[in-house]
């Protein structure tokens, strides 16, 4: 075969999103009583099932409502996005601890090497509280690049590890740390990814990130944002426009959000309206309210799907519920 004349076909590359923490505000482990109640409910539904038949058991499990089959997870915000060439970490909530462990144990191989790129939407506790427990922070050869639009990022991360709060200071760690200042005007290029930044309405500001690969496919991570439906909506719609997936803060149900003005969060209605206007392909509902258990989250998810069907019957938008430890290929 004449290699000079060989035709090289480049297949479209993919980006892999993995959710390590999907809760808002504070880690929310499943309570023992909630676990027990799930067992009780499953057993009551299983009374007519022949449990000696494996196939029937599998079919029964597959038909169970999601809130009984799974738990959506209790760790706070942490998401990874991996392209062919590089991985980035979005937020350092308590889910970051699991990511660090999986990297250390060789269970997560999409991040290789000793250099990490961590983008922080903002510095509220639920978005940074996993950092002290991130194993690479404690490694000699590691380098962590922090990217933040908050000018005091270094001070806040250092403060979090003052001795009153944590026994080991950030400065005493052997890891090499570099801080990169983000602005809305400048974009960051990391190998085959481009990352842009957009300010959201949130106490002390939060920032959305738009991650675009070499095929011009975009993922938007937009958490901790409140929208006031002023003329600024056009700028959000322009930023989210045509993305493959919008990861969106749906902290409050439409019933609860009325009393939470100024708290800096959104609902599925706001998310779906924006996603449809922006013509994104998928919306992943994210930053689940710590006061909502799996059953309430499931019900709100059903309500979200109904809202989409009723209000936008022609829309092809797909709604996903972000689930801890799940991944999505884009």
Q: What is the total count of residues that contact Zn ion (CB under 5 A)? A: 4
Shortest distance, position 283 Cβ to Zn ion, whole Å: 18
Closest CA to 301 of 268, 252, 260: 268
Query: Quick one: 99 or 193, whose CB is closer to Zn ion?
Result: 99
Shortest distance, position 201 Cβ to Zn ion, whole Å: 11
Determine the interface stretch with Zn ion among 63-71, 123-131, 142-150, 174-182 (rule: CB under 5 A).
123-131
Query: Quick one: 137 or 200, whose CB is closer to Zn ion?
Result: 200
Determine the interface stretch with Zn ion among 20-28, 172-180, 254-262, 270-278 (rule: CB under 5 A).
20-28
Shortest distance, position 87 Cβ to Zn ion, whole Å: 22
Shortest distance, position 247 Cβ to Zn ion, whole Å: 13
Query: Quick one: 193 or 257, whose CB is closer to Zn ion?
Result: 257
Shortest distance, position 202 Cβ to Zn ion, whole Å: 6
The pattern of x and - marking residues 278 through 297 that bind Zn ion according to CB under 5 A reads --------------------
H helices of 27-117, in order, are: 32-45, 54-63, 66-69, 95-104
Q: How many CB atoms lie within 10 A of CB 139?
A: 17
Determine the interface stretch with Zn ion among 28-36, 162-170, 175-183, 223-231 (rule: CB under 5 A).
223-231
Task: Assess 213 for contact with Zn ion (CB under 5 A).
Answer: no
Task: Assess 324 for contact with Zn ion (CB under 5 A).
Answer: no
Residues 133 and 98: their CA atoms lie apart, in Å, by 9
Rounded (10°) angle between helices 294-311 and 268-278: 40
Task: Assess 126 for contact with Zn ion (CB under 5 A).
Answer: yes
Shortest distance, position 92 Cβ to Zn ion, whole Å: 12
Determine the interface stretch with Zn ion among 112-120, 155-163, 219-227, 298-306 (rule: CB under 5 A).
219-227
Task: Assess 124 for contact with Zn ion (CB under 5 A).
Answer: yes
Shortest distance, position 287 Cβ to Zn ion, whole Å: 6
Task: Assess 224 for contact with Zn ion (CB under 5 A).
Answer: yes
Q: Which helix (H) or strand (E) holds 194?
A: strand 193-200
Q: Among all residues, whose Cβ is closest to Zn ion?
A: 124
Residues 328 and 330: their CA atoms lie apart, in Å, by 6
Determine the interface stretch with Zn ion among 24-32, 156-164, 277-285, 312-320 (rule: CB under 5 A).
24-32
- Pull the structure tokens for residue 305: 């799907």
Task: Assess 265 for contact with Zn ion (CB under 5 A).
Answer: no
Determine the interface stretch with Zn ion among 18-26, 62-70, 130-138, 310-318 (rule: CB under 5 A).
18-26
Helix (H, G, I), strand (E, B) or coil at 23: strand
- Pull the structure tokens for residue 2: 């004449």
Helix (H, G, I), strand (E, B) or coil at 151: coil
Closest CA to 220 of 79, 23, 108: 79
Bridge-based pairing of strands 143-148 and 115-120 is parallel
Task: Assess 226 for contact with Zn ion (CB under 5 A).
Answer: no
Query: How far is residue 112 from each of residues 101, 103, 196, 237, 261, measured CA to CA in Å?
Result: 13, 8, 24, 35, 42
| Residues in Cβ contact with 188 at an 8 Å cutoff, skipping those fewer than 6 apart | 147, 180, 182, 194, 195
Shortest distance, position 151 Cβ to Zn ion, whole Å: 17
Q: Is 224 left (phi over 0), alpha (psi -120 to 50) or beta?
A: left
Shortest distance, position 76 Cβ to Zn ion, whole Å: 7
- For 19-32, b/e burial (b = at least 16 CB within 10 A) is bbbbbbbebbeeee
Residues within the interface to Zn ion (CB under 5 A): 24, 124, 126, 224
């Amino acid at each position: 075969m004449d290699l000079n004349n060989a035709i090289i076909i480049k297949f479209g590359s993919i980006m892999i999103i993995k959710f390590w923490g999907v809760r808002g505000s504070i880690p929310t482990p499943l309570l023992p009583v909630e676990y027990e109640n799930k067992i009780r409910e499953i057993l009551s539904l299983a009374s007519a099932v022949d449990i000696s038949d494996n196939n029937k058991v599998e079919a029964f499990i597959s038909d169970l409502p999601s809130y009984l089959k799974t738990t959506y997870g209790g760790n706070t915000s942490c998401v990874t996005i991996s392209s062919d060439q590089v991985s980035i970490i979005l937020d350092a909530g308590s889910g970051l601890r699991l990511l660090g462990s999986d990297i250390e144990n060789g269970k997560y191989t999409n991040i290789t090497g000793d250099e990490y790129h961590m983008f922080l939407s903002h510095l509220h506790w639920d978005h940074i509280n996993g950092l002290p427990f991130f194993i690479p922070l404690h490694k000699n050869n590691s380098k962590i690049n922090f990217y933040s639009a908050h000018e005091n990022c270094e001070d806040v991360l250092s403060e979090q590890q003052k001795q009153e709060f944590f026994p080991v200071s950030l400065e005493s760690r052997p890891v090499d740390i570099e801080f990169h200042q983000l602005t809305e005007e400048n974009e960051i290029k990391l190998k085959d990814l481009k990352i842009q930044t957009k300010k959201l309405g949130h106490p002390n500001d939060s920032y959305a990130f738009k991650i675009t690969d070499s095929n011009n496919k975009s993922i938007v991570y937009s958490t901790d944002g409140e929208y006031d439906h002023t003329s600024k909506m056009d700028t959000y719609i322009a930023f989210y426009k045509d993305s493959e997936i919008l990861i969106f803060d749906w902290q409050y149900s439409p019933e609860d959000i009325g009393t939470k003005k100024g708290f800096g969060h959104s609902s599925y209605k706001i998310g779906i309206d924006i996603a449809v206007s922006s013509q994104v392909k998928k919306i992943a509902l994210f930053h689940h309210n710590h006061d909502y258990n799996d059953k309430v989250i499931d019900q709100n998810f059903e309500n979200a799907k109904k809202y989409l069907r009723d209000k936008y019957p022609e829309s092809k938008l797909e709604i996903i519920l972000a689930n801890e430890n799940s991944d999505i290929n884009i």
